Structures are given as structure tokens and as C-alpha cells.
């Protein structure tokens, strides 16, 4: 009964604004991730969410994983507190079926197949664009569930300085500083941040007796810089660097209660891009980049593992304005993945050559998107993907969309090249995982309000899993994920309301069992109000029950549903200085996102922010 009441409340909160909220002028939001071409968000066919710099500030979140918990269609399962391993499930897909990009650059691990998003702090991030649904035809492997693209801060306006500092319970400390601006055609942004917390015990010793009961802390330092020089109105060179180092303490269910375990994770990105406006209709960009994931694990001070991935990337993208409200994109890309490790993989490198093309156009009330991509892998062969999308403007404010697309996920180095050890070995003959996605939506946008309703169905085949004898992996399983998303975002006077509800059925197509750590229903409701120089916000977050496994006994378990209340407040002391306070998990709910692991109880934080 409680779950049904919450669902009704979420739907009501989203539907109510249509009839009652006052008019507010619309502002056109331009996105690039949905089609790899500049496009107004109200014209995109792919289901897209934008989190602006102001959204990030107002959230009070420290890290990307925490911020994403409030986005429609996204669930996060974290194995402990800040900095602990976080699984991102977008529309019921796995973490390794969601592509994360940093300024267009891959920073994922080729051995695990996913991005260590728990180590990405928000101090360096200016904007996030999230596209849900298959978009392999735009980005290649891993985009079965969608793409999360993070944009680091750029220089704007006159040179200025910013700084922040804050403290919270569990020994939490947060400091950052940055310089940015534009001088004679050269924009720059340089930022540094440090986060430290004593945390809580990652594992619950009552459920995992061999876990060390001590607190598991986290320490993170992030540095980033971006410089863009415009030679004239048509030519510009951009260079950027990003580096984060996270050191997280963790528990091991199969170790000793006295063991001290920690993992040090380095994520680095280096990029250089040259933009040419070759004519009024032709824009060209050439990019060279490298994304690095380097993970080192220690037990009692001794290193026990090291895995490093280097994603060397080269791309040439050409966008053409072929007619009024019609754009064409043609690109070639090369990705070279190299792995170094203390594990002797049977192969340590692969090369991927890709060609892709896309088209977006408007014809009166009709919108069209078409994409084709071919990826040629040096190890398993060719993957062809495509997307066809259509939009119809029913009124000036109401639009219908529909699309069909396919996607793939390349096998990881762990899957294919793990050496024979302990009776287990990788399978070099694996095929990529494949999926076909269909979706339809209704979108309302007017007077400062946006409502989106999406129906989606994703069928995934050739899932990679252990074989029957647990000696290797094979393409064996299938998944079927269907559901509906309803989201609302609106400003009415001094109020700002955000709400999202997802109802899904992510199941193993063979057994009918719910996929692990995914709820059939989840959502959030956030409301904030400005009182002059004071802004106060509240968020209610809900997740239904989820299936999981006891890693000690392999027995299935159920993770209980939970509801959380979070509060934030921001007071503007003057035009340069403001103070921020937040209370997370106000009622100190005891819940779990991964069986046997603790989550944070009530958290308190207060910080001071200065912007020149």
C-alpha cells in the first residue's frame, strides 16, 4: 500500500503542473550528445536530460554518482560510502552497458568494461548530458543502455577566481579552487579540488563475519585544465588535461577481520582538438586524445593487483549544414586499447577502426534522425549499428517521438584473454553482446515546463556469462527490459520542481528472474524555493525491492524498498559569497544497495563558496 501511494504521489506531482503553474519564458537548451550535432533539446528524438552548472551547485552533491541518483531511468548501487565501487544501471542495463565520456573521451577500463564513475567529483564538471537508449550508432561499444557525457569547466568572461571549503560529519572535508576567463581570444580554466572522509564500515559484519569492522575512508584529489585559443572566428585549438586520484578503503568478505584493504584509482584524460569552420556549411574537428584508467589494489600494504587501460583515440568529424534545419555528419575514428597488468593476459591490445554518418532534419512538423556506424575490431570482427528516429509536432508545445536502434558491447579483456588460472580461462571466441531497442514518447514543453513520457523495450542477446562448469565464459543469456519513464521539470515563480518515476521490468529472458540490483519501480521528487537571497530545497527518493545474491553462500536475497529525504539550503551573503548546507538521509534510514554492504546514514555538511 505504501509503494502504491508513493507511485500515485509521484505521478500526481508531475501531472499537476500542466493546469496550475504560472507562465515562464522558455529558453532554448542546445545539446550535442543526442546526435553529435548541435541541436535544441526540444527537437531531439533520443530521450535526453541536461544537468547544468546551476543544477550541479543546487544539488549539494560531491560526486557524479550521487548526482545521477536523481536522474530519470538511472539507479546507482554502491558498495559502501563515498568512493566505493558504484554500479550505474540505466533503464535496467548493466554498468558495462552504459558508456561514460569525459569531453568526448573514453575513460573506461578495458578489463572490466565499465567506468569507475565513483571517483569522478563534480568540482571540475560544468555540464552533464545524458542520453537514454541504444546509441551505439553514434558512439560504438557499451552504449546499449545509453551515454553519460561529462563536460569539464571552460573559461567564460573576464578573468575570475573561485574557491570553496566545507566540512561534514564522518570527518568529511572538501576544498576546491579555480581560475578561469578569456583574454584576447584565449579562454582558460584551471581547477583543483580535494575531498576526504573517514566514511563508515563498507560491509556489515553481522552479514559478512570476515569483514574488518573499522571505518572505510576515502581520499580524492582532482586537477584539470583547459585552454582554447581562437585564431579567428573560424579556427580554434583546444587542449585539455584532467587527472583524478582516488584512494578508497574497502572490505573483503573472504579475508580476515584484521585485514586492511585499499584501492588507488587514477583516471586521466589528455585531449587536443582543432576546430575549423571551413565554410558557412562545413564545420570540421580533428581530435587526438588519451583516456587512462589505472587501478592498484593493496592488502596490508602489499600490492596484490594492478590493471591499467590506455584508450588512445583519434577522430575526424565533419558536420554539414546541407539546408535550412538539416544537418549531416560524417566521421572516422580510431581507438587503440592497451592493457598492462600483473595478470598475464594472453593478448594485451586491440585496435578499432570506425566509420559513422548521421542526419537530422526538420520538415515543418516532422523531425527525422538517421545514423549508421561500422566498427572493425582487430580481435572479434565487425559490428554494424544503426538508428532511425521520427518526431511529430502535434502542437507548438506537444511532440511525439519514436525510434528503433541496435547496439553492441564488445567483450572485455577479462572475458577474452584471462589466462588459465584456478581452473578458469577467458574465451577468445566470444561474440559481442547485441541489443535492439524500441521506444516511443510524448514530450510537452511550454512556459518554463517540460514533461516527458517514454515507453521503452530493449532486447539483449548473446549476454556474456559463466558457462555451466564455471571454467570459462560464453554467449549464453538473454535479457528483456521494458518499461515507462515519466519526468517533469518546471519553474513557476519562485518554485522549481523536478520529478521522475520509472516503472520497468528488467528480467532474464530465459528464467524470468529480475536482473540483480534493479527495482521494478523507482523515482524522486524535488522541490526548491527562492526566498530572496535564500534557497531551500527538499528531495524525496524512492526505490522498490531488488534482487541480489549473498556472495558467501550464493543464495538469492531480496533488498528491501526504501525512501529517503534529503534537504539543502543556500544563502547568498553577497554577490561573491554564499554558504551551503545539506542534510542527507534526514531520518537516518537503514537500507542497502548491495547485499552485505552498508550505506551512509544521516549526513551533515556545511560549506562556503566564493566566486569573484
pLDDT of residue 448: 86
**What's the pLDDT at 421?**
86
pLDDT one-digit tens code per residue, 482-508: 999 999 999 888 899 999 999 999 999
Kindly list the distances between the CA atom of residue 139 and the CA atoms of 89, 105, 186, 333, 575, in Å, as whole numbers in the listed order. Answer: 18, 11, 30, 10, 41
81: nearest Cα among 201, 166, 212: 201
Query: What is the SS3 assignment for 46-63?
Result: CEEEEECHHHHHHHCCCE
Answer whether 245's CB lies under 8 Å from 121's CB: no
SS3 at position 96 = helix
| Res 6 pLDDT > 80 | no
Q: What is the pLDDT of residue 294?
A: 98
Q: Are 246 and 83 contacting, i.e. CB atoms less than 8 angstroms apart?
A: yes
- 547: domain range? 2-611
Q: Considering the chain, what is the average pLDDT of its residues?
A: 93
- Average pLDDT estimate for 529-544: 95
Residue 211 has pLDDT above 90, yes or no: yes
Band the pLDDT of 16: cuts 50, 70, 90: very low
pLDDT digits (tens, 9 = 90+) for 34-57: 999 999 999 999 999 999 998 998
Residue 25 has pLDDT above 80, yes or no: no
CB 538, CB 566: distance < 8 Å: yes
Share of the chain above pLDDT 70, in %: 96
How is residue 218 written as a grid cell?
576515502
In this prediction, residue 582 carries a pLDDT of 96
Q: What percent of the chain has pLDDT over 90?
A: 91
* Count: domains in the chain: 1
Residue 86 Cα distances to 64, 113, 118, 293, angstroms: 10, 14, 6, 15
- Listed in sequence order, the residues at least 6 apart from 311 whose beta carbon sits closer than 8 Å to its beta carbon are 105, 106, 107, 108, 110, 290, 291, 292, 335, 336, 337
Report, as an integer, the average pLDDT of 90-113: 96
In the block, cell 526504501 appears at: 562
Angle (nearest 5°) at CA 222 between 221 and 224: 155
597, 80 contact by CB (below 8 A): yes
- CA proximity to 413, closest of 144, 115, 142, 112: 112
Shortest CA distance to 458 belongs to which of 429, 478, 431? 478
Residue 8: predicted pLDDT: 40
The pLDDT value recorded for residue 5 is 43
CA–CA distance, 592 with 609 (Å, rounded to integer): 33
pLDDT at position 28: 72
Per-residue pLDDT at 477: 87
- 3-class state of residue 602 by DSSP: coil
Check whether 19 has a pLDDT greater than 90. Answer: no
pLDDT tens by residue, 172-185: 999 999 999 999 99
pLDDT at 581 over 50: yes
**Farthest-apart Cα atoms in the chain, separation:** 69
How far apart (Å, rounded) are the C-alpha atoms in residues 456 and 526? 24
Q: What was the pLDDT predicted at 26? A: 44
pLDDT for position 492: 84
CATH code: domain of residue 138:
2.40.170.20
- Give the tens place of pLDDT for each residue, 464-488: 999 988 899 999 989 999 999 999 9
pLDDT digits (tens, 9 = 90+) for 248-279: 999 999 999 999 999 999 999 999 999 999 99
Q: 179-184, long-range: CB within 8 Å, 24+ apart, which pairs?
A: 180/153, 180/154, 180/155, 180/156, 181/155, 181/156, 181/157, 182/155, 182/156, 182/157, 182/158, 183/159
**pLDDT class of 129 with cuts at 50, 70, 90:** very high
- What integer pLDDT is reported at residue 423 of this predicted model? 87
Q: Which residues, other chains included, contact 373 with Cβ-Cβ below 8 Å and sequence gap of 6+? A: 136, 137, 138, 140, 354, 355, 356, 357, 384, 385, 386
Amino acid at each position: 500500500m505504501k509503494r502504491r501511494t508513493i507511485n500515485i504521489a509521484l505521478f500526481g506531482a508531475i501531472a499537476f503542473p500542466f493546469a496550475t503553474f504560472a507562465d515562464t519564458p522558455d529558453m532554448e537548451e542546445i545539446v550535442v550528445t543526442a546526435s553529435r550535432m548541435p541541436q535544441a533539446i526540444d527537437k531531439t528524438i533520443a530521450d535526453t536530460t541536461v544537468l547544468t552548472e546551476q543544477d550541479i551547485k543546487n544539488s549539494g552533491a560531491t560526486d557524479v554518482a550521487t548526482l545521477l541518483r536523481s536522474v530519470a531511468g538511472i539507479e546507482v548501487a554502491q558498495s559502501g560510502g563515498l568512493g566505493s565501487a558504484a554500479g550505474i544501471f540505466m533503464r535496467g542495463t548493466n554498468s558495462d552497458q552504459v558508456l561514460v565520456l569525459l569531453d568526448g573521451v573514453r575513460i573506461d577500463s578495458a578489463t572490466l568494461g565499465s567506468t569507475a564513475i565513483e571517483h569522478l567529483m563534480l568540482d571540475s564538471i560544468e555540464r552533464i548530458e545524458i542520453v537514454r537508449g541504444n546509441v551505439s550508432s553514434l558512439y560504438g561499444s557499451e552504449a546499449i543502455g545509453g551515454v553519460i557525457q561529462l563536460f569539464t569547466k571552460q573559461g567564460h568572461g573576464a578573468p575570475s577566481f573561485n574557491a570553496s571549503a566545507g566540512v561534514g560529519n564522518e570527518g568529511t572535508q572538501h576544498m576546491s579552487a579555480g581560475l578561469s576567463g578569456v583574454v584576447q581570444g584565449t579562454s582558460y580554466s584551471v581547477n583543483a579540488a580535494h575531498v576526504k572522509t573517514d566514511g563508515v564500515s563498507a560491509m556489515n559484519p553481522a552479514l559478512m563475519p570476515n569483514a574488518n569492522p573499522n571505518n572505510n575512508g576515502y581520499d580524492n584529489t582532482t586537477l584539470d585544465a583547459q585552454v582554447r585559443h581562437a585564431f579567428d572566428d573560424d579556427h580554434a585549438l583546444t587542449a585539455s588535461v584532467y587527472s583524478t586520484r582516488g584512494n578508497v578503503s574497502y572490505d573483503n568478505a573472504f579475508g580476515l577481520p584484521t585485514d586492511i584493504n585499499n584501492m588507488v584509482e587514477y583516471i586521466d584524460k589528455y585531449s587536443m582538438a582543432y576546430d575549423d569552420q571551413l565554410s558557412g556549411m562545413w564545420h570540421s574537428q580533428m581530435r587526438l586524445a588519451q583516456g587512462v584508467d589505472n587501478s592498484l589494489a593493496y592488502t596490508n600494504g602489499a600490492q596484490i593487483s594492478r590493471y591499467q587501460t590506455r584508450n588512445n583515440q583519434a577522430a575526424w568529424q565533419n558536420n554539414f549544414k546541407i539546408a535550412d534545419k538539416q544537418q549531416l555528419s560524417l566521421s572516422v575514428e580510431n581507438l587503440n586499447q592497451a592493457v598492462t597488468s600483473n595478470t598475464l593476459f594472453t593478448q594485451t591490445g586491440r585496435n578499432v577502426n570506425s566509420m559513422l554518418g548521421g542526419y537530422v532534419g526538420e520538415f515543418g512538423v516532422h523531425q527525422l534522425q538517421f545514423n549508421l556506424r561500422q566498427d572493425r575490431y582487430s580481435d572479434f570482427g565487425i559490428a554494424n549499428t544503426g538508428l532511425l528516429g521520427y518526431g511529430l509536432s502535434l502542437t507548438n508545445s506537444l511532440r511525439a517521438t519514436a525510434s528503433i536502434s541496435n547496439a553492441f558491447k564488445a567483450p572485455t579483456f577479462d572475458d577474452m584473454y584471462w589466462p588459465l588460472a584456478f581452473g578458469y580461462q577467458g574465451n577468445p571466441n566470444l561474440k559481442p553482446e547485441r541489443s535492439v531497442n524500441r521506444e516511443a514518447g510524448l514530450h510537452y514543453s511550454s512556459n518554463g515546463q517540460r514533461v516527458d513520457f517514454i515507453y521503452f523495450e530493449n532486447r539483449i542477446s548473446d549476454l556474456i556469462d559463466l558457462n555451466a562448469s564455471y571454467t570459462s565464459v560464453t554467449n549464453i543469456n538473454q535479457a528483456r527490459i521494458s518499461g515507462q519513464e515519466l519526468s517533469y521539470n518546471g519553474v513557476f515563480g519562485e518554485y522549481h520542481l523536478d520529478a521522475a518515476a520509472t516503472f520497468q521490468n528488467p528480467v532474464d529472458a530465459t528464467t524470468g528472474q529480475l536482473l540483480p540490483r534493479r527495482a521494478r519501480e523507482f523515482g524522486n521528487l524535488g522541490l526548491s524555493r527562492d526566498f530572496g537571497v535564500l534557497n531551500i530545497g527538499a528531495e524525496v527518493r524512492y526505490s522498490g525491492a531488488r534482487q541480489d545474491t549473498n556472495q558467501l553462500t550464493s543464495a538469492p536475497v531480496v533488498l528491501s524498498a526504501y525512501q529517503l529525504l534529503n534537504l539543502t539550503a543556500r544563502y547568498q551573503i553577497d554577490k561573491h559569497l554564499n554558504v551551503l548546507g545539506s542534510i542527507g538521509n534526514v531520518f537516518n534510514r537503514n537500507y542497502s544497495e548491495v547485499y552485505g554492504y552498508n550505506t551512509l546514514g544521516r549526513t551533515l555538511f556545511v560549506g562556503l563558496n566564493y566566486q569573484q
